[in-house]
Amino acid sequence: MLNNQTSFEQELVSRLVRGDAKAQYTLYKRYVDAMYHTVIRIVKDPTDAQDVVQECFIRVFQKIDTYRGEATLGAWIKRIAIHSAFNLMRKRKRNLEYATDEIERYDIEFEIEDSDSTYSPENVHHAIKELPTGCRAVVSLYALEGYSHKEIAGILDITESTSKTQYRRAKGLLKDVLVSKMRRDEV
Amino acid sequence: MKFEDQINRDRREFDQIEKVPSDLIWHGIQDNIRKKNTRRIIIRLSAAASIIIIIGAFAVINFSGIKSSGEQFAMSSEFNEEENKYYQLANHKMTEINYTDLDRSEYGEIISELEELDSMYTALKSEMAEIPNAEKAIQTAIKFHERRLQILELLEKEIENRKREEANESNLKI
Distances (CA, A) of A147 to A74, A160, A164, B43: 14, 12, 12, 44
Q: pLDDT > 70: what percent of chain B?
A: 75
**Closest residue in A to B170 (Cα–Cα):** A87
pLDDT tens per residue, range B106-126: 777 778 878 888 888 887 777
Calculate the dihedral angle through the C-alpha atoms of B61, B63, B67, B69, rounding to the nearest 10 degrees.
Answer: 150
Q: Determine contact: B174 vs chain A, CB below 8 A.
A: yes
Nearest partner of B36 among A83, A113, A19, judged by Cα: A19
Give the start-to-end residue ranges of the domains of chain A.
7-91, 101-186
State whether B14 and A32 contact (CB < 8 Å): no
| Separation of alpha carbons B42 and B34, rounded Å | 12
Q: How many CB atoms lie within 10 A of CB A25?
A: 13
- Residues of chain A in contact with residue B14, where contact means CB-CB under 8 angstroms, are 37, 121, 124-125, 144
| Separation of alpha carbons B58 and A69, rounded Å | 54
Tell me the CATH number for domain A7-91: 1.10.1740.10
**Closest residue in B to A51 (Cα–Cα):** B25
| Separation of alpha carbons B97 and A186, rounded Å | 66
The pLDDT, as a whole number, for residue A175 is: 87
The pLDDT, as a whole number, for residue A143 is: 94
Q: Are B67 and A96 in contact (CB under 8 A)?
A: no
B78: which residues sit within 8 A by CB, 6+ positions away?
none
Mean residue pLDDT of chain B comes to 77
Q: Determine contact: B19 vs chain A, CB below 8 A.
A: no
Nearest partner of A110 among B8, B9, B4, judged by Cα: B4
pLDDT tens per residue, range A63-99: 898 998 888 899 999 999 999 998 888 877 666 666 5
* Among A32-36, A124-128, B3-7, B8-12, the least confident range: B3-7
Give B13: exposed, middle or buried? Use CB within 10 Å, 0-12, 13-18, 19+.
middle
What's the CATH class of domain A101-186? mainly alpha
Nearest partner of A171 among A122, A112, A116, A113, judged by Cα: A112
**Closest residue in B to A90 (Cα–Cα):** B171
Residues A8, A14, A18, A24: is their CA dihedral positive or negative?
Answer: positive
State whether A50 and B29 contact (CB < 8 Å): no
Q: Determine contact: B18 vs chain A, CB below 8 A.
A: yes
pLDDT band at A1 (very low <50, low <70, confident <90, very high): very low
The pLDDT, as a whole number, for residue B111 is: 81
- Residues of chain A in contact with residue B4, where contact means CB-CB under 8 angstroms, are 143
pLDDT band at B139 (very low <50, low <70, confident <90, very high): confident
Higher pLDDT, B90 or B69: B90
Higher pLDDT, A117 or B69: A117
pTM above 0.90, yes or no: no
- SS3 readout for B34-68: HHHHHHHHHHHHHHHHHHHHHHHHHHHHHHCCCCC
- Residues of chain A in contact with residue B17, where contact means CB-CB under 8 angstroms, are 37, 121-122, 125-126
Higher pLDDT, A147 or B151: A147
- Residues of chain B in contact with residue A124, where contact means CB-CB under 8 angstroms, are 7, 14
DSSP output for A50-95: HHHHHHHHHHHHHHGGG--SSS-HHHHHHHHHHHHHHHHHHHTT-P
State whether B29 and A54 contact (CB < 8 Å): yes
Task: Report the pLDDT averaged over residues B98-112.
Answer: 78
pLDDT band at A152 (very low <50, low <70, confident <90, very high): very high
The pLDDT, as a whole number, for residue A98 is: 65
State whether B7 and A143 contact (CB < 8 Å): yes
pLDDT tens per residue, range B32-82: 888 777 766 777 777 777 777 777 766 666 655 555 444 444 556 777 888
